[in-house]
């Protein structure tokens, strides 16, 4: 077999830094030059580890089914450049720090890439991490300390298409302090011109703290996604379904934040929103009745169901933004709504909303029907969450058929006539808000 001069040179360079057994599963290298050589000659299944150090420049990954990792997560830092992925599949990039101007992109041809246990720190030109390929997993990373415009994580795709089946989980999004009115989201899933495209993304088990770069911590601009089991605290950023249809928002724990939506056929259920102000749930304003595929206007919410949530605040706990077109054919059902306002639910005049099974307490309902004013007997558990107490009138009190609500925010099964609110009463409470120990680079 005749080897190219380039291959011979790469092998010689690699051997000058480290001895590599013929079938080594782990290859240890000490510099970016030896890292590039190891990648260029890598075999499927190999893990290549770069020693601690500070580096600049761009490393090209052109081999599939390999792992490129820092020998010690957080110990290998890029201040510029980083990694450029080619037409590869099944590559894992693990444990690096992207500091300074260093960013990363997963191009459309780099399918099934995993980005794990990396740190994206400081101001960048554009997104800290951009995902364009299908079937990408982004997990256990830390995104921190931006003060300029730009998002931490952008999910996009090629041309007018959207990246599909992105799985975003157990990441820590921290301290985005951009002071502009728009453009500092923690996660932007799609773009306005891709809103009709089905991304089938799952955003789950992430923690957001000081997500103050934009009113939208999670900005969904595509269709058919799932946003579940995340914790947002000490942030002005909401979970916002800005464009697109048919997204499920389930079981999130929000403190001082909330959920706002536009578009059609969403399901918002089992969420716990404790907002010391108001606007725990916001039916977004309608500048138009149904957005065109490239529209940037606000689409009226149509056929959105908000059910089995526990919503605590003051002011209007559930309300709608004003606009030309009011929410249409929506449902507000089986929620616990507790506050101190003269109108806990304040919907725009002309809204067509079906109300049923709600329990309100501490203020005036603001609904024409579909509620009971009764103390739900919420008690605070050891993790700070307000739950149903034994004997609560919310137990076995729901009405209607919502077949997709099979569990509560603890992920415990609901049975029989389900309880009102996010919590199905059970003496064994298991859910707690996420902390830094549960997410990011060092989490299990």
Q: For the segment 352-365, what is each residue's pLDDT rounded down to a tens digit?
A: 999 999 999 999 99
CB half-sphere exposure, 47, CA atoms < 13 A: 9
User: Dihedrals φ, ψ of 12, to 5°?
Assistant: -65, -40
CA distances from 342 to 306, 322, 362, 364, 365 (A): 21, 19, 9, 5, 8
List all residues 6 or more positions away from 21 whose beta carbon is below 8 Å from its beta carbon. Answer: none
Per-residue confidence (pLDDT) for residue 4, from 0 to 100: 41
**Is pLDDT at 5 greater than 90 in this prediction?**
no
Provide the percentage of residues in the chain whose pLDDT is more than 90: 86
104-106 and 207-211 beta bridge pairing: unpaired
Nearest to 120 by CA among 139, 133, 104, 136: 104
Element (H, E) at 40: helix 32-40
| Tokens 């309300």, located at residue | 319
Q: Could you tell me which residues come within 8 angstroms of residue 1 by beta carbon, excluding any fewer than 6 positions away?
A: none
| Residue 2: pLDDT band with limits 50, 70, 90 | very low
Q: What is the pLDDT of residue 13?
A: 35
Architecture of the domain defined by 52-244: 3 Solenoid (2.160)
- Could you tell me the pLDDT band of residue 21, with boundaries at 50, 70 and 90? very low
Q: Where are the beta strands (DSSP E) in 43-91?
A: 47-50, 53-55, 58-61, 67-70, 76-78, 82-85
Residues 6+ apart with CB under 8 A from 385: 253, 272, 423, 429, 431, 432, 433
- Above 80 in pLDDT, residue 265? yes
Average pLDDT over residues 79-92: 97
At 162, list the tokens.
């959207």
Higher pLDDT, 295 or 209: 209
**Starting at the edge strand that comes first in sequence, how are the strands of the sheet with 187-190 ordered?**
58-61, 82-85, 104-106, 129-131, 153-155, 187-190, 216-221, 238-243, 259-261, 281-283, 318-320, 345-346
Are the C-beta atoms of residues 148 and 125 closer than 8 Å to each other?
no
H helices, E strands: number in the chain? 2, 42
Q: pLDDT tens for residues 296-353?
A: 888 899 999 999 999 999 888 999 998 899 999 999 999 999 998 889 999 999 999 9
The segment(s) of the chain belonging to CATH 2.160.20.10 are 52-244
Q: Please name the residue that has the structure tokens 């000081």.
A: 210
Q: Is 9 helix (H, G, I), strand (E, B) or coil?
A: helix
The structure tokens listed for 408 are 């509560």
Global pTM? 0.93
Lowest mean pLDDT among 15-29, 63-77, 81-95, 347-361: 15-29
Q: What is the pLDDT of residues 192-228, one digit of tens each?
A: 999 999 999 999 999 999 999 999 999 999 999 999 9
> First-to-last CA distance in the chain?
45
Q: Provide the 10 A C-beta neighbour count for residue 169.
A: 17
Query: Distance (Å, rounded) from C-alpha 212 to C-alpha 209?
Result: 8
Please give the DSSP secondary-structure letter assigned to residue 407: B
**Residue 390 predicted with pLDDT over 60:** yes
Residue 88: pLDDT band with limits 50, 70, 90: very high
Q: Can you give the pLDDT at residue 427? A: 84
Q: pLDDT grade, residue 24 (50/70/90)?
A: low
Q: What is the pLDDT of residue 385?
A: 96
Q: How far apart are CA 157 and CA 84, in angstroms?
A: 16
Mean of the per-residue pLDDT values for the chain?
A: 93
| Contact call for residues 226 and 192 (beta carbons, < 8 A) | no
Three-class SS state of 346: strand
- Per-residue pLDDT of 155-183, as tens digits, reads 999 999 999 999 999 999 999 999 988 89
User: What's the pLDDT at 158?
Assistant: 94
> E strands, 196-278, where?
202-204, 207-211, 216-221, 226-228, 231-233, 238-243, 248-250, 253-255, 259-261, 267-269, 272-274
Residue 103: pLDDT band by 50, 70, 90 thresholds?
A: very high
Q: What's the DSSP call for residue 11?
A: H
For residue 376, the number of C-alpha atoms closer than 13 Å in the C-beta half-sphere is: 36
pLDDT at position 15, please?
A: 36
Reduce the DSSP state of residue 16 to 3 states and report it: helix
């Amino acid at each position: 077999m005749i080897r190219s001069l380039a291959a011979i040179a790469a092998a010689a360079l690699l051997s000058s830094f480290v001895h590599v057994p013929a079938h080594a599963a782990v290859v240890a290298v000490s510099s970016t030059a030896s890292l590039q050589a190891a990648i260029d000659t890598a075999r499927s299944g190999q893990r290549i580890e770069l020693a601690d150090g500070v580096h600049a420049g761009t490393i090209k990954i052109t081999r599939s089914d390999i792992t490129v990792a820092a020998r010690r997560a957080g110990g290998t830092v890029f201040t510029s450049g980083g990694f450029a992925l080619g037409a590869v599949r099944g590559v894992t990039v693990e444990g690096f720090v992207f500091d300074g101007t260093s960013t990363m992109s997963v191009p459309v041809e780099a399918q099934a890439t995993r980005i794990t246990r990396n740190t994206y720190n400081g101001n960048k030109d554009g997104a800290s991490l951009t995902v364009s390929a299908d079937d990408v997993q982004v997990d256990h990373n830390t995104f921190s300390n931006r003060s300029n415009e730009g998002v931490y994580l952008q999910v996009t795709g090629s041309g007018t298409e959207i990246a599909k089946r992105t799985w975003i989980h157990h990441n820590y999004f921290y301290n985005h302090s951009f002071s502009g009115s728009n453009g500092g989201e923690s996660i932007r899933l799609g773009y306005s011109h891709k809103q009709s495209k089905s991304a089938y993304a799952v955003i789950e088990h992430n923690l957001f703290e000081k997500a103050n770069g934009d009113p939208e911590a999670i900005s969904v601009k595509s269709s058919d996604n799932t946003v579940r089991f995340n914790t947002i605290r000490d942030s002005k950023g909401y979970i916002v379904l800005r464009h697109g249809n048919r997204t499920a928002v389930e079981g999130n724990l929000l403190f001082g934040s909330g959920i706002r939506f536009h578009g059609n056929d969403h399901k918002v259920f089992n969420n716990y929103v404790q907002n010391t102000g108001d606007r725990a749930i916001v039916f977004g304003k309608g500048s138009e009745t149904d957005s065109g595929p490239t529209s940037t206007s606000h689409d009226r919410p149509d056929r959105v169901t908000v059910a089995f949530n526990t919503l605590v605040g003051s002011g209007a706990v559930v309300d709608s933004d004003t606009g030309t077109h009011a929410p249409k054919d929506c449902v507000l059902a089986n929620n616990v709504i507790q506050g101190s306002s003269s109108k806990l639910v304040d919907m725009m005049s002309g809204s067509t909303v079906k109300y049923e099974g709600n329990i309100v307490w501490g203020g005036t309902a603001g609904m024409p029907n579909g509620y009971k004013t009764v103390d739900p007997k919420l008690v605070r558990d050891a993790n700070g969450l307000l739950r149903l107490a034994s004997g609560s009138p919310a137990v076995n009190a729901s009405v209607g058929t919502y077949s997709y609500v099979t569990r509560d925010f603890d992920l415990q099964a609901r049975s029989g006539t389900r309880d009102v609110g996010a919590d199905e009463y059970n003496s064994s409470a298991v859910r707690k808000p996420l902390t830094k120990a549960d997410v990011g680079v060092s989490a299990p």
